[in-house]
Structure 1
Amino acid sequence: MKVAQLGNKAHIHKNIIEACKKGNESARYQLYQLYAKAMYNVSYRMMNNREEAEDMLQDAFTQAFMKLDSFRYDSSFGSWLKRIVVNTCINAMNKRKVELTYCEEVYSGNVFEEVEAEPRYTVQLVNRAMEQLPEGSRMVFSLYLMEGYDHGEIAQIMGITESTSKSQYMRAKRKVAELLKGFTED
């Protein structure tokens, strides 16, 4: 997305960002306060653990502040920072040598077909279901559904094939639907 397309979004908080670039600690704290909650949510969805999510958040902000001079307002600061958070989480997962469980069958159709048209799932239930997914599936599910990455981008980020990303997503989607159905029957 070009700066012209972004309009004022690319320049939101520009004064604070420029003050941060000059080493102003108060501005850094202010920028942290503006973005910490949203970036923590991204990190938590990927790491599935509060302590690890907090660690990833701190690492990501440390990296962002160190690389702030490279931020050129080509995108919004939030998008730039979210990419750092996602990459920080991916790198941490890779250090643990995440083994993806490959799905041999490709599911067709809508796996939520059995779900009634009336929404009956809360955010808490969906989060509870996501927490029970295997790590690799949860990351693909989160990146695709929650963060808006496409399968090509996910494949590149995670070092997997696009078809693996798609099958992991379908498997995660099926598992979440199954878990949600079980939660509502309890």
Structure 2
Amino acid sequence: MLLLGLAAGAAVLIGGLGGPTQLFGNSPLEQDWSATPAEVRVVDGDTLRLSDRVVRLRGLEAPPRGEACRDAAGREFDCGAGSAETLSRLVAGRGVACRVRGRDRFGRGLGECEAAGVELNGALVSAGWALAGEGALHPLEDAARAAGRGLWASGARPPQAWQARR
């Protein structure tokens, strides 16, 4: 009886005073994340580290580092590094703010982000360094392809996995 009373008391103490508050999925569906320029790191062409949080740009797909593409002369280059470099230029020396909605399969926040008034998701697709994954970005991808920007540069061949898309 005494053991049962101690167990019940411990459960009340843990649940009522110091237990985790997000056990049953009641965290907000949308969150605003931001970081100062010193806290922003580019992980790859579609992923940023904002201080201690990782956010993947929502609605697009950039090639991972090490993904091979070919230029107009047939020479191979790392198109994933090109995508990450473009994202680095977009955030260089700027704070980043993201509206995070949901998580990807790796637990990263999925967000629409901006740096100094530049919407990063659209800018990366518009520069030709990412594929549109959602409808709103498709016109930007189409324009990048037509203008031969980024991965669509005249004569360049995008990653093999992308050649069958759209």
Superposed pair shares fold, TM > 0.5: no
More strand as a share of residues: 2
Look at both structures and tell me which one has the larger radius of gyration over its CA atoms: 2
